[in-house]
Chain A
């Protein structure tokens, strides 16, 4: 009996001891914060908002590389700008690339499929940014903020941050609408974790973007009133102007009047002016004394480092016989122009129109896409300062150049085009003034001024002014020259002299992995 009692006691004692160890199974990751610790004050919200913006400029949370946001793609190529730029420029006459990165030559060949890694990556990147925006919005509702005991100025500031997150989301949905037309769709009203978002289309997205941008107008800081790099009212207007200018492509409706209205709102807002020298636009110190930029992606050679963004733009555009010192960084020997771009200018050396920034010692004709020296080099992006100094990175690898998502020149050209296309609220006379503002800066005098213009001129002027700034595909689609035989360029469609391709290639395919993962999605026609 005693023995049994002893055993029982031992058994119970050991059970107590053993099960008490079970709490050791509750572990927390080191050096991280739980959501409640993050959103306890304004500073936490601001750091999450910094991620919202930063996810457009960087590839991940470790600069220059090491913990990428988007999986399934090389981290250095996974940033927003590099992918967006490729989809918007490599598919056009403005740029051609020598590399063999997976899927990159498809842009020239115009034979991309739903498995194209670049298109998968861009879709993933845009969606990732939107997911961050949605999470910020879920966590920043007035109720949530109040429940965390945040009041007063802090609460007001967080409300303004909300509007910024909604702007970023609207911008990214514009990207998806323009390139993919029918992506998945979710807002902060949807859950996070596991669910299948529904598919949307251009009609719904157009309405969503439009209403969002109008809804946040009140909460966004006035034009130029926000910190550099953060969105203000003018950023939302600029996006609306771009949206309306392309409305006929998106929703088969003309919205040129609205395009004029919002371009004008920016133009008329106080504080915006063209930078005095066109060749300063994409330099290392383009963030200083520059009133032309409306909304930027900010880079820094020391503090905001990655292998995409303007680091890609500067390095990749240098190679062959080009002097590395001119660009201030090394040379990756990748991107240059087809002959159509330099031929837009009266003089390829830029002696007349200073916007022509080419390295003309290379061959104008492209016989071999892989040969960097076939095709003029483009020296628009340079990590040098106006004073001739180098950028901040002592190793000369990473760029400081900020990328203008919207700048005043685009608003001038939007205005002029919308007027010509029949929009009201503006005049051709005013448009000519705006165009001549650009041309006087380009020529350094009035010799390049125009007295009248037509739509083809606008398309060409946009190429001269805005080349390599990520707008060309959208412009060509709007002008009916992207897939059509009416306009050809070297290697369009994979043949040297260029050829027309199928009409369905005006929009990109929904990535195959996304279609596979989300049963609500139907592939775009043709793919």
Chain B
């Protein structure tokens, strides 16, 4: 009964509806709405709004507003905009506000590549682009930190927690052994110098991260080979923010942050140390103990504040003819190590006028930065963990500034003892000023005769100058014997660039093709200016005898001249071929080895453009890529390594002939055949995007072989002026896989969740190291450690990863306690000596990951970035050097503190080469947690956003040392990375 009634009612309803239909067709309704950006709520101008199923619609105005008249039956609007994910909205009234999320993989996006741009869909190589909206947020003083953890295959490890400290950047682990493993960094077309000048801790900290718009990382040869001899370690292209047409807009941002020591080194307490000395020491030793309890780490570290203020204006003036952007920034940051301070003043200007009916584009960029540093005495860090905690900071005497110090019987500071860390901080005065200017002007001219032909000229420079004075009071025990120091230092670096190229791009409809040709010439000249001064005592008048330099300055440098070209050929929008070629000439090599040719080729197949996938709802993008190329490495260290030359000894290295002292003339070891390192690189990749690119990602695999590896290797004695020579020998092979995935698991009106993940596996192996093979060769010793004189803990050995640890196999007792001095006799010859050392683990990770996520809910945004590193080991040099009785009761006659590890091992003497100290340093670090709130329009035309961050929030690791993340894997207690709390406000008006 009931069922029948129901069916009847439904039928009548359908009938009624169908009667109404014709009427509905003839009626229209007006929908208005606003389209905003999910990230920050800013209006999206020019977004197209189309009724679903229709071909024409409207677009939003500058305020993001739209008004559209649609038929009454239209229930769904489709909103699209370049750079955003397409969104459909069901009409529920006369207004329809849409929040657009930035698309995670935009194919029409244009990507900066070397010498030009390319459409993302035409890319054939391993190229990753990160733009400002995806940067890591927070108080970041140095640009590379903006992309830490964001890109597969790229490892960014900050060197320390010192303010402004730099980072080690490795793309796919680096291709070299002894030559540089740093990628080439190009800022607005100007390859910049990676090296420090005196007084700067990091050359990149002279670039204000707020001025950066985009990072593009060229990881494989087909992308990077256009940089030829400098491309083996990958290329990072940095594009700074530019002025855009439109009303002048201002942005003001303010950040305040608090840094606190995140962790302290585990050392013995005063009571523990006293107990050890009383139990194991002689009565003389016990008599040396003090009676107080000083935490030296607390004495040298503090909570440190910092502020970062930035103001920018961008838009166009002169009737819109002159787009510009101008910005200024000021950063002031204390270090957590007392007395450390870093100040940076930056300015940047960009002008992008267009002439001749837009045919001539001019881009002028100029950036200037001045940093002022007060460097704390870094020695305080090591002394704070080794100075006797039973001693007070202050002594009862006024000598040595009133600080307690270890003294010899003659009242002078004990020569090889440690020093009062507080005294080191307070007596050291090291101030430096560094300026850096980077500028370029680029002309891009659409030639009148041939359509599609452009000529581009880029003139650029990069100039740095650093100078400062390092003083240590003559009251300081550390330099009491030499009466203190007062030394001025100065260094400069300059590079000048000229790049000119022609570019021809044409769609040839007849054969359904597009070609893009580029050919150019480059000239870049680098200058290193060093200045030498005598070694002054603290009074600034007296000079250490013999320290007056032979030369007041040195003007060294090198020049690179290049010819390059690229062909991009696209067939039917599906098949893409890229061919690159570059010839480089470098002044670092002899005439016959000077020029190198670096070709590459790559193919891409856009499967998703094939008919069978073109209309797929699931697959929005699918591309297969394969590339092969040869790149080079000329950043080899020596500038003149192929030349023999004689240099004069300084005035403290004279030799006495009777009554005269003669300066020595020394011939330098040289290799006339020095040549490029060449890297052959095969890369295959798949780019994919599903469901409107809500799931997108890339899988890459690569095989990289570096040949003619430049390395310092032993050479036959008597054959050259050294026992080791920097020469081309050896090969290294590196295989790896990268996977990155970006997803938008939730995308609703008020809620969007983005999740990104990347993982990289790299496995490098040295495949050859010597000119003549010798199975008994135990490799090249590297990795100097503290303790003893000249001990090294790592080796480069054929068949192993570079810099692997080279140690004895520790033997343990029944309680799993290491037995002092007992190791496996691996070669069973009855003697424990160097022949029983073996390779054990490596400081570099096998696998590293990055995880980042963000959630936008209404006006709130929250997110985090995590980084992980797995399979990396550290040599805990702090434990091996100080966690033994010999270090606590020092034979040189003083008591010192050391690692609590002593309580576990009970070692009386140092066992530097025990694998016990090679410890798993895998970690997962919460780099950054961010929270944002969009206040919206707080007053007319002014939007305010608030943010808060915690940087270095926590770390998950088994590692017992201060911090598992170390460059090089030898843990000697670095400047601790602080935990930083940031609050910020950002005002657009």
Contact = CB atoms under 8 A, between A and B. Distances in A.
B26 interface: no
A131 B720 contact: yes
A50 B665 CA distance: 7
Contact of B656 (A30, A135, A304, A395): A304
A117 B654 contact: no
A51 interface: yes
B716 A184 contact: yes
B30 interface: no
Contacts of B716: 184, 195-197, 514, 517-518, 520
B869 interface: no
Contact of A50 (B546, B657, B723, B790): B657
Contacts of A332: 415-416, 892
B672 interface: yes
Contact of B653 (A24, A54, A128): A54
B790 A102 contact: yes
A88 B544 CA distance: 35
A339 interface: no
Contact of A27 (B557, B651, B668, B909): B557
Interface string B473-487: 000000001110000
Interface stretch (B372-380, B405-413, B570-578, B695-703): B405-413
A152 interface: no
B412 A320 contact: no
Interface stretch (A106-114, A142-150, A420-428): A106-114
Contacts of A74: 789-790
Interface string A319-336: 111011100001111000
B665 A185 contact: no
Contacts of B661: 300, 303-304
A320 B665 contact: no
A325 B656 CA distance: 26
A356 B660 CA distance: 35
B618 interface: no
Interface stretch (B60-68, B287-295, B832-840): B832-840
Given A27-B640, A63-B546, A300-B654, A127 B723 contact: yes
Interface in A395-418: 395-397
A25 B587 contact: yes
B561 A25 contact: yes
B777 A304 contact: no
Interface stretch (B41-49, B81-89, B547-555, B978-986): B547-555
Instruction: Say whether chain A's binding surface is mostly helix, strand, loop, or mixed.
Output: loop
B559 A333 contact: no
A186 B892 CA distance: 44
Contact of A33 (B665, B714, B910): B665
B781 interface: yes
B656 A22 contact: no
B717 interface: yes
A496 to B, nearest CB: 14
A60 interface: yes
A286 interface: no
A127 B717 contact: yes
Interface residues of A, number: 122
Interface string A490-527: 00000000000000000000001111111110010000
Given A25-B594, A229-B656, A395-B481, A18 B720 contact: no
Given A72-B723, A370-B909, A298 B718 contact: no
A134 interface: yes
Given A100-B791, A193-B720, A303-B651, A38 B665 contact: yes
Contact of B790 (A117, A183, A194, A516): A117
Interface in B585-608: 585-587, 591, 594
Interface centre among A100, A116, A123, A302 (most CB of B within 10 A): A100
B654 to A, nearest CB: 4
A376 to B, nearest CB: 15
A46 interface: yes
Nearest to A299: B656
Interface magnitude class on chain B: 35 or more
Contact of B772 (A24, A192, A519): A519
Contacts of B723: 70-72, 123-124, 127-128, 513-514
B891 A100 contact: no
A500 to B, nearest CB: 14
Nearest to B911: A100
A75 to B, nearest CB: 8
Interface in A4-31: 14, 18, 21-22, 24-31
Interface string B762-791: 000000001110101110110000011111
Contact of B658 (A35, A194, A228, A300): A228
Contact of A28 (B643, B659, B720): B643
B600 to A, nearest CB: 23
Interface string B658-674: 11111111111001110
Given A130-B718, A319-B891, A518-B772, A28 B835 contact: no
Contacts of A389: none
B640 A192 contact: no
A38 B722 contact: no
A252 interface: no
A1 to B, nearest CB: 14
Given A61-B649, A63-B546, A196-B719, A298 B789 contact: no
B355 interface: no
A305 B546 CA distance: 10
Given A61-B664, A131-B720, A517-B770, A101 B672 contact: no
Nearest to A38: B646
A47 B521 contact: no
Contacts of A331: 408, 415-416, 892
Contacts of A30: 551, 554-556
The 4 closest A-B pairs by CB, nearest first: A74-B790, A227-B658, A63-B652, A63-B653
21 contacts: A25-B559, A30-B555, A35-B645, A54-B654, A54-B664, A57-B655, A63-B651, A70-B722, A102-B789, A104-B788, A116-B834, A127-B723, A184-B718, A195-B719, A229-B656, A394-B483, A512-B778, A514-B723, A516-B772, A517-B714, A517-B770
Interface of A: 3, 14, 18, 21-22, 24-35, 37-38, 44, 46-48, 50-51, 53-55, 57-58, 60-64, 66, 69-74, 76-77, 98-104, 106, 109, 111-117, 123-124, 127-128, 130-132, 134-135, 183-186, 190, 192-197, 227-230, 287, 298, 300, 302-306, 315, 319-321, 323-325, 330-333, 368, 370-373, 394-397, 512-520, 523
Given A74-B790, A193-B672, A373-B891, 6 more contacts: A103-B834, A115-B778, A115-B834, A128-B717, A193-B720, A397-B482
